[in-house]
Amino acid sequence: PSHYDKDLESILIPHGVIMDRVEKLARLIVNDCKGPLVICCILKGGHQYFADLVNVIKKLTTKDGHSIPLSLEFIRVKSYHNDASSGDVRISLTEEECQEFKGKNILIVEDIIDTGSTMVKLLKRLEQYQPSSIRVTSLLIKKTPKSNGYIPDYVGFAIPDAFVVGYALDYNEYFRDLDHICVISEHGKQAYAQ
Ligand code: PRP
Ligand code: MN
Ligand code: MG
Protein backbone atom coordinates (compact mmCIF):
# COMPACT_ATOMS: atom_id res chain seq x y z
CA PRO A 1 0.00 0.00 0.00
CA SER A 2 1.39 3.42 -0.90
CA HIS A 3 0.40 6.87 -2.15
CA TYR A 4 0.79 5.44 -5.67
CA ASP A 5 -1.70 2.54 -5.36
CA LYS A 6 -4.12 3.66 -8.11
CA ASP A 7 -1.23 4.69 -10.32
CA LEU A 8 0.22 1.19 -10.60
CA GLU A 9 -0.93 -1.76 -12.70
CA SER A 10 1.17 -4.45 -10.99
CA ILE A 11 4.38 -5.21 -9.16
CA LEU A 12 6.80 -6.59 -11.77
CA ILE A 13 9.88 -7.21 -9.59
CA PRO A 14 9.56 -7.12 -5.79
CA HIS A 15 12.34 -5.38 -3.87
CA GLY A 16 13.68 -8.61 -2.31
CA VAL A 17 14.07 -10.21 -5.74
CA ILE A 18 15.96 -7.15 -6.95
CA MET A 19 18.33 -7.33 -3.98
CA ASP A 20 19.08 -11.04 -4.55
CA ARG A 21 19.87 -10.35 -8.19
CA VAL A 22 22.07 -7.35 -7.30
CA GLU A 23 24.14 -9.59 -5.03
CA LYS A 24 24.70 -12.11 -7.86
CA LEU A 25 25.58 -9.38 -10.36
CA ALA A 26 28.10 -7.92 -7.91
CA ARG A 27 29.82 -11.32 -7.67
CA LEU A 28 30.01 -11.68 -11.47
CA ILE A 29 31.44 -8.17 -11.82
CA VAL A 30 34.05 -8.63 -9.09
CA ASN A 31 35.14 -12.02 -10.45
CA ASP A 32 35.85 -10.44 -13.86
CA CYS A 33 37.64 -7.45 -12.41
CA LYS A 34 41.43 -7.33 -12.39
CA GLY A 35 42.53 -3.86 -11.36
CA PRO A 36 41.26 -0.62 -9.89
CA LEU A 37 37.72 0.15 -11.02
CA VAL A 38 35.90 3.42 -11.69
CA ILE A 39 32.22 2.77 -11.03
CA CYS A 40 30.10 5.30 -12.85
CA CYS A 41 26.49 6.04 -11.84
CA ILE A 42 24.10 7.24 -14.55
CA LEU A 43 21.78 9.71 -12.83
CA LYS A 44 19.06 9.83 -11.94
CA GLY A 45 17.55 6.42 -12.71
CA GLY A 46 20.72 4.48 -11.96
CA HIS A 47 21.21 5.81 -8.43
CA GLN A 48 19.43 3.10 -6.43
CA TYR A 49 20.97 0.18 -8.32
CA PHE A 50 24.36 1.91 -8.08
CA ALA A 51 24.01 2.39 -4.31
CA ASP A 52 22.99 -1.22 -3.66
CA LEU A 53 25.52 -2.67 -6.13
CA VAL A 54 28.44 -0.65 -4.72
CA ASN A 55 27.50 -1.79 -1.22
CA VAL A 56 27.85 -5.44 -2.22
CA ILE A 57 30.96 -4.87 -4.35
CA LYS A 58 32.60 -3.09 -1.38
CA LYS A 59 31.99 -6.09 0.87
CA LEU A 60 33.31 -8.54 -1.73
CA THR A 61 36.41 -6.48 -2.49
CA THR A 62 37.42 -6.25 1.15
CA LYS A 63 36.36 -9.64 2.56
CA ASP A 64 36.61 -12.20 -0.22
CA GLY A 65 40.26 -11.70 -1.01
CA HIS A 66 39.69 -9.53 -4.10
CA SER A 67 41.55 -6.36 -3.31
CA ILE A 68 40.15 -3.81 -5.76
CA PRO A 69 40.33 -0.06 -5.11
CA LEU A 70 37.09 1.61 -6.21
CA SER A 71 36.44 5.17 -7.26
CA LEU A 72 32.97 6.54 -7.88
CA GLU A 73 31.80 8.91 -10.61
CA PHE A 74 28.39 10.38 -11.43
CA ILE A 75 27.08 11.42 -14.84
CA ARG A 76 23.71 13.08 -15.45
CA VAL A 77 22.06 11.80 -18.64
CA LYS A 78 18.49 12.57 -19.64
CA SER A 79 16.22 12.14 -22.65
CA TYR A 80 12.76 11.07 -21.45
CA HIS A 81 9.57 13.16 -21.25
CA ASN A 82 6.36 11.32 -20.26
CA ASP A 83 6.87 7.70 -21.44
CA ALA A 84 8.92 8.37 -24.57
CA SER A 85 12.51 9.34 -25.34
CA SER A 86 12.82 12.83 -26.81
CA GLY A 87 15.68 11.43 -28.89
CA ASP A 88 17.79 14.30 -27.55
CA VAL A 89 20.17 12.61 -25.09
CA ARG A 90 21.76 15.24 -22.81
CA ILE A 91 25.00 14.24 -21.13
CA SER A 92 26.34 16.46 -18.31
CA LEU A 93 30.10 15.96 -18.28
CA THR A 94 32.80 18.60 -17.99
CA GLU A 95 36.14 18.31 -19.79
CA GLU A 96 37.77 18.02 -16.36
CA GLU A 97 35.56 15.06 -15.39
CA CYS A 98 36.31 13.37 -18.72
CA GLN A 99 40.05 13.40 -18.01
CA GLU A 100 39.32 11.09 -15.04
CA PHE A 101 38.48 8.28 -17.50
CA LYS A 102 41.78 8.15 -19.38
CA GLY A 103 43.49 4.77 -18.96
CA LYS A 104 40.94 3.56 -16.37
CA ASN A 105 38.72 0.47 -16.17
CA ILE A 106 35.18 1.81 -16.12
CA LEU A 107 31.97 0.11 -15.03
CA ILE A 108 28.86 2.03 -16.08
CA VAL A 109 25.82 1.43 -13.87
CA GLU A 110 22.43 2.09 -15.49
CA ASP A 111 18.86 1.25 -14.46
CA ILE A 112 17.37 0.32 -17.83
CA ILE A 113 18.20 -0.16 -21.50
CA ASP A 114 14.98 0.65 -23.37
CA THR A 115 15.62 1.82 -26.96
CA GLY A 116 19.35 1.67 -26.20
CA SER A 117 19.99 5.15 -27.57
CA THR A 118 21.09 6.64 -24.21
CA MET A 119 23.79 4.00 -23.75
CA VAL A 120 25.03 4.04 -27.34
CA LYS A 121 25.44 7.84 -27.22
CA LEU A 122 27.09 7.75 -23.82
CA LEU A 123 29.58 5.05 -24.87
CA LYS A 124 30.52 7.00 -28.00
CA ARG A 125 31.24 10.01 -25.82
CA LEU A 126 33.26 8.12 -23.19
CA GLU A 127 35.36 6.26 -25.76
CA GLN A 128 36.77 9.62 -26.88
CA TYR A 129 38.56 9.86 -23.54
CA GLN A 130 40.54 6.62 -24.05
CA PRO A 131 39.62 4.55 -20.99
CA SER A 132 41.46 1.21 -20.92
CA SER A 133 38.13 -0.66 -20.74
CA ILE A 134 34.42 0.05 -20.42
CA ARG A 135 31.89 -2.48 -19.15
CA VAL A 136 28.21 -1.77 -18.68
CA THR A 137 25.71 -3.18 -16.23
CA SER A 138 22.01 -2.45 -16.46
CA LEU A 139 19.52 -3.79 -13.94
CA LEU A 140 16.85 -4.04 -16.66
CA ILE A 141 16.71 -4.50 -20.40
CA LYS A 142 13.39 -4.06 -22.18
CA LYS A 143 12.26 -6.45 -24.90
CA THR A 144 10.95 -3.92 -27.40
CA PRO A 145 10.80 -3.53 -31.19
CA LYS A 146 12.21 0.00 -30.61
CA SER A 147 15.52 -1.48 -29.41
CA ASN A 148 18.64 -0.55 -31.37
CA GLY A 149 20.10 -3.96 -30.49
CA TYR A 150 22.48 -2.79 -27.77
CA ILE A 151 23.04 -5.41 -25.01
CA PRO A 152 25.03 -4.58 -21.84
CA ASP A 153 27.70 -6.87 -20.33
CA TYR A 154 25.77 -7.60 -17.11
CA VAL A 155 21.95 -7.61 -17.09
CA GLY A 156 19.71 -8.11 -14.09
CA PHE A 157 16.33 -8.83 -15.72
CA ALA A 158 14.83 -8.81 -19.22
CA ILE A 159 11.37 -7.22 -18.96
CA PRO A 160 8.33 -6.97 -21.24
CA ASP A 161 7.53 -3.88 -23.30
CA ALA A 162 5.71 -1.88 -20.61
CA PHE A 163 6.58 1.42 -18.89
CA VAL A 164 8.10 0.56 -15.51
CA VAL A 165 8.74 2.75 -12.48
CA GLY A 166 10.17 2.42 -8.98
CA TYR A 167 13.62 1.61 -7.56
CA ALA A 168 14.67 5.06 -8.88
CA LEU A 169 12.96 4.70 -12.28
CA ASP A 170 10.56 7.59 -12.85
CA TYR A 171 7.67 8.89 -14.87
CA ASN A 172 8.16 12.68 -15.05
CA GLU A 173 10.23 12.47 -11.84
CA TYR A 174 7.57 10.62 -9.78
CA PHE A 175 7.69 7.00 -8.54
CA ARG A 176 11.45 7.00 -7.87
CA ASP A 177 10.53 6.57 -4.18
CA LEU A 178 8.97 3.11 -4.68
CA ASP A 179 10.98 0.06 -3.50
CA HIS A 180 9.57 -2.40 -6.07
CA ILE A 181 9.75 -2.18 -9.86
CA CYS A 182 6.15 -1.74 -11.02
CA VAL A 183 4.15 -1.26 -14.21
CA ILE A 184 2.48 2.16 -14.27
CA SER A 185 -1.32 2.23 -14.85
CA GLU A 186 -3.23 4.44 -17.30
CA HIS A 187 -4.48 6.34 -14.25
CA GLY A 188 -0.88 6.92 -13.18
CA LYS A 189 0.18 8.12 -16.63
CA GLN A 190 -2.67 10.61 -16.68
CA ALA A 191 -2.14 11.75 -13.11
CA TYR A 192 1.51 12.68 -13.70
CA ALA A 193 1.48 13.59 -17.41
CA GLN A 194 3.23 16.79 -18.47
C1 PRP B 1 15.97 6.71 -18.70
C2 PRP B 1 16.65 5.54 -18.05
C3 PRP B 1 17.85 5.29 -18.94
C4 PRP B 1 17.32 5.64 -20.32
C5 PRP B 1 16.91 4.39 -21.06
O6 PRP B 1 16.60 7.93 -18.31
O7 PRP B 1 17.06 5.88 -16.73
O8 PRP B 1 18.91 6.16 -18.61
O9 PRP B 1 16.17 6.49 -20.10
O10 PRP B 1 16.22 4.71 -22.25
P11 PRP B 1 16.76 4.43 -23.72
O12 PRP B 1 17.44 3.10 -23.72
O13 PRP B 1 15.51 4.43 -24.55
O14 PRP B 1 17.69 5.55 -24.11
P15 PRP B 1 15.82 9.33 -18.37
O16 PRP B 1 16.09 10.05 -19.64
O17 PRP B 1 14.39 9.10 -18.02
O18 PRP B 1 16.53 10.19 -17.20
P19 PRP B 1 16.51 9.79 -15.63
O20 PRP B 1 17.51 8.68 -15.47
O21 PRP B 1 16.94 11.02 -14.93
O22 PRP B 1 15.13 9.37 -15.26
MN1 MN C 1 18.39 7.47 -16.88
MG1 MG D 1 13.58 9.03 -16.42
Cβ neighbours for 114, distance < 8 A, ≥ 6 positions apart = 85, 142, 144, 146, 147
For 9, phi then psi, to 5°, come to -85, -45
Residue list, ligand 1 pocket, CB within 6 Å = 42, 44-45, 77-80, 85, 110-118, 170
Q: Which of 111, 114, 153, 177 is catalytic?
A: 114
Q: What is the mean pLDDT of the chain?
A: 94
Q: Is 170 a catalytic residue?
A: no
Average pLDDT over residues 73-84: 93
CA dist 27 and 137 (Å) reads 13
> How confident is residue 167, by pLDDT bands cut at 50, 70 and 90?
very high
Average pLDDT over residues 15-43: 96
What are the structural domain ranges in the chain?
16-159
Tell me how far the alpha carbon of residue 44 lies from the centroid of ligand 1, in angstroms.
8
Q: What is the pLDDT of residue 63?
A: 66
Q: What is the pLDDT of residue 1?
A: 58
Greater confidence (104 vs 34) lies with 104
Average pLDDT over residues 135-149: 98
Nearest atom, ligand 1, residue 110 CA = 8
DSSP state of 6: G
CATH code: domain 16-159 is 3.40.50.2020
CA dist 50 and 142 (Å) reads 19
Q: Concatenated DSSP letters for 80-123?
A: EETTEEEEEEEEE--HHHHHTTTT-EEEEEEEEESSSHHHHHHH
Nearest Cα residue to atom 10 of ligand 1: 114
Closest CA to 133 of 43, 50, 39: 39
Q: What interhelical angle do 47-63 and 15-32 show, nearest 10?
A: 50
Tell me how far the alpha carbon of residue 77 lies from the centroid of ligand 2, in angstroms.
6
> How confident is residue 143, by pLDDT bands cut at 50, 70 and 90?
very high
